[in-house]
Structure 1
Amino acid sequence: MDLTTPALLFPAISLLLLAYTNRFLTLAQVIRQLHASADPGAALVQRQIPGLKRRIILIQYMQGFGVLSFLLCALSMFALFVHGETPGKFLFGCSILVLALSLILSLVEVLISTNALAVVVEDLEQSK
Structure 2
Amino acid sequence: MNELTLSTPALLFSAISLIMLAYTNRFLAYAAVVRNLKEKFLQQKDEALLLQINNLKKRLYLTRSMQIYGITSLLLCVLTMFLIYVGQHNLAVWVFGLALLLLILSLGFLIREIQISVDALNHHLNDIEYHLNKK
Written as runs of structure 1 = structure 2, the 5 A alignment for 1:1-128 is 1-37=4-40, 39-128=43-132
Q: Could you tell me how far apart the structure 2 residues matched to 1:17 and 1:47 are? A: 28
Distance 1:74 1:45 in 2: 43
Larger radius of gyration: 2
Aligned residues: 128
Cα deviation for residue 40 of structure 1 reads: 4.5
Select between 36-45 and 105-114 the one with higher mean Cα deviation. Answer: 36-45
RMSD: 1.3
| 1:2-28 Cα distance to aligned partner (Å, 9 max, x none) | 111111111101001100000001111
CA distance in 1, matches of 2:5, 2:113: 35
Moved over 3 A (4+): none
Q: Distance in 1 between matches of 2:80 and 2:18?
A: 19
Q: Which runs of 5+ in 1 are unaligned?
A: none
- Please tell me the residue identity of whatever aligns with 1:45: L
CA apart distance, 1:47: 2.3
Identity %: 42
User: Please, what TM-score do these two structures have when normalized by structure 2?
Assistant: 0.89
TM-score, normalised on structure 1? 0.93
User: Contact 1:24–1:56 at 8 Å: present in 2 too?
Assistant: yes
